[in-house]
A and B are shown apart, each in its own frame.
Chain A
Amino acid sequence: MSDLLVEMTGITKDFPGVHALADASFELRPGEVHALVGENGAGKSTLMKILAGVYVPDAGEIRFKGEPVQISNPRTALDLGISMIHQELNLAPHLTVAQNIFLGREPRGRPRFLLDDRRLNRQTRELIDRLHLKLDPTARVGDLKIAQQQMVEIAKALSLNAAVLVMDEPTAALTDTEIDELFRIIRDLRTDGVGVVHISHRLEELKQISDRVTVMRDGRYVATLDIADASIPVVINMMVGRTIYEEAPDIPVRSDEVVLEVRGLSRGRMVRDVSFVLHRGEILGVAGLVGAGRTELVRAIFGADRPESGEILVHGKPAAIASPADAVQLGIAYLSEDRKRYGLALGLDVETNVVLASLQTFVSSLGRVDTRRTRAVAEQRVQDLGIKTPSVRQHARNLSGGTQQKVVIAKWLTADTDILIFDEPTRGIDVGAKSEIYHLLNELARDGKAIIMISSELPEILRMSHRIIVMCEGRLTGELSGATATQEAIMTLATQRESVAEAIPA
């Protein structure tokens, strides 16, 4: 028992509306590199953030070197020697490399409230040299490239002489040579007896660096394997698990009429040469891991971000979409995953929200809004879509997540759009309301609407889609038929990094 560096058991954490972790556990030995894998939302980051003191668990026990510990804030974790490199870079861009690395532990002068910046820069220099990094201690972090900022994070974590180092997707922004260098540093740490936790989506990296793998799913611990026993298909199988939805999918028939065609669309690193078509009455699922470029793709189609190259055809005609207003004019609607911020005016009532995107059509020649008509239209939508609200006068803020989503849908239907792009349509919506949204999407498709649905939930994608396109690192890595696709097939395409893709003959 006591040879374990970290032992986490029974860890439970709820966020409003989400069970992030349910009875999760994890262990780490000194001198091992332990990979932590799972689907988006499996709870990997949350579990490690609890270890690092970012979140406090609702229940569970953490033992560090055999002793039970309470880690109530980042300071406690740092004092124990647990440091974490976060997925989203946590640096102060206005401060220098040295100032960031020693933030919170600045070398002091005399008296103690004075800074000793000469010592700060010297110690940083020594640290950078020891790690064989090329960084200028006095450079401002905001002026550095992402990969260099990542190196600053790593140097910062290592400067603590940590006993435990957690890295949340450290390689996401790095090139292959940079990754090799990072792995060299990790191997050195392992030799020094440091326990390294490595959260990654890149399964092919596991073999290169890890000693053991722990798989998580739906906030729970699934299994821990020695790396020798962990082939990629086995790990994917464990990550995906059984399908949650037992009922047979109810997919309406689609027509062959193409309503939207995207040709060679590119924007930056996140959207690279993407082409696909969308049919009338079709639900097209867009699958991929977080950061695969799915949201960026649909934002470029919708005119929220301007594409660098490529063509968009709506109903067979080339469309110049320079802004979301142009897209709406062409009948395209985008339903953001963040309904509360981008989809709804929370302080306004259902009626106003329903007519908000098409208000011009309700305005009389004198410039007065015809409230009798807006009322009638809103009440009709509430009835048609089964929006559960006491009246159209109810404020959007007071509705449940599922009902809010229906109000957003009602808004776009009222605006006469026929291409609906859903970004995570059921995020933050409880299980009961989810199936209502699914039924509604099917109804819309049956009525001839064309739907693009981004979803990180594989069962949802599989249940709803006629066809599924999968993205990885901004590229389209494959297209699957909804009828024959499996979770394993999607995960394989979603983790198909460029170098791997080249190695596998098409």
Chain B
Amino acid sequence: MRPTLDVALTRPRALIRSDAVQRFLAFGALLVLILVFSLLSPNFLQFDNAVGILLATSVNGILALGVTFVIITGGIDLSIGTVMTLSAVITGVVITNMGLPIPVGIVAGMLTGALTGLANGVLIARFRIPSFIVTLGMLNIAKGLALVISGLTPIYFNDSPGFNEGAMGSLIGSVVPGLNIPNVALVMFGAALIASFVLSRTILGRYTFALGSNEEATRLSGVNVVRWKASVYVVCGLFAGLAGVVIAARLNSAQPSLGQGYELDAIAAAVIGGTSLSGGEGSILGTVIGAFIISTLTNGLRILSVPQEWHTVVTGGIVILAVYLDIVRRRRRL
């Protein structure tokens, strides 16, 4: 046999991959939260309250799924909150004002999200404008368009009761009596499964990580980075559109002034779940856990009668802590 290269196999690899550590930490934190709130209040661990947490997680969770893709590429999308609103308004216009069938409204809402994502993606990938700036601009554009199109007033779905019933009804409850988990929660879990599949099993997912890990290396490998980067923003927009449809169905109305601020909760969920703001690392499971941490925290604080104003103070602190843990972890590896 020929001589082999005199290089040790690998450096003793970390026992657990570092992003898995953060996911484990996040999951542990979620369990601790649940435990603490259960001990502090008998009302916390009730079925109805659990459903409340699920409902609260669903919209933010769907937004967070999409923005996870963008953050893994090393970018950011600040427009998802108001794009969600715009999508909800478009869904309202199609279903209520135009009187078209509900599925057409749903598709129109998602398409709206995808189109704004495409606009973001082209400006960022093709014209190389920083994602922070482009999506900050899109935040305002979508916000303004939602107000203009809706004429500043909410659009109700009173003529299509099936829309709200579809979201708030329980498919599971109809099979297993009593287990009335609303369908929006199923939508979120379904979306999470799809997102997870795309991220780990498809070409798009692979290039999402590659772009965030080393964009120049990806380009030099012959990958069309402009096209794939733009696609990632389309995916993010598509999820924002879905979130718009879900929130409209849940509230039985498209509220044109709602939405701004949602993007920060979604980004927070991704970051708490171990998605690195410097790119290349992240997972859908982590993001889902992150979204649950935020909604469990808010829910628990409300049950403990902590004033509403303090909720954002706490979540803000958690986000800073999560990012700090991420930085410490990274520093230790270097």
Contact = CB atoms under 8 A, between A and B. Distances in A.
B46 to A, nearest CB: 42
A126 to B, nearest CB: 15
Contacts of A91: 214, 217
Main secondary structure of the interface of B (DSSP, over half): loop
Interface stretch (A107-115, A376-384, A477-485): A107-115
Nearest to B200: A115
A115 B214 contact: no
A178 B5 contact: yes
Interface string A121-133: 0000000000011
B203 A115 contact: yes
Given A94-B213, A99-B206, A108-B203, A136 B5 contact: no
Contact of B221 (A103, A132, A147): A103
A383 to B, nearest CB: 41
A99 B211 CA distance: 13
Interface in B190-229: 201-206, 209-210, 212-214, 216-224
Contact of B214 (A78, A92, A147): A92
B16 interface: no
B201 A115 contact: yes
A93 interface: yes
A106 interface: yes
A133 B4 contact: yes
Interface string A115-158: 10000000000000000111110011011110110010000100
Contacts of B281: 94
Interface in B212-258: 212-214, 216-224
A93 B213 contact: yes
Contacts, number: 116
A27 to B, nearest CB: 24
A54 interface: yes
A86 interface: yes
Contact of A92 (B8, B10, B13, B210): B210
Given A74-B222, A115-B202, A151 B217 contact: no
Given A90-B216, A105-B222, A132-B5, A143 B206 contact: no
A103 B223 contact: yes
B13 A151 contact: no
B332 interface: no
Nearest to B282: A94
Interface in A56-75: 73-75
Contacts of B217: 90-92, 100, 103
Contacts of B333: 142
Interface string A333-373: 00000000000000000000000000000000000000000
B220 A177 contact: no
B5 A115 contact: no
Contacts of A142: 333
* Max chain B Cβ within 10 angstroms of own Cβ: one of A52, A90, A139: A90
B9 interface: yes
Contacts of A95: 206, 209-210, 213
B175 interface: no
A113 B201 CA distance: 9
A136 to B, nearest CB: 6
A144 B11 contact: yes
B214 A114 contact: no
Interface of A: 52, 54, 73-75, 78-79, 84, 86, 90-95, 99-100, 103-106, 108, 113-115, 132-136, 139-140, 142-145, 147-148, 151, 156, 175, 177-178, 181, 184
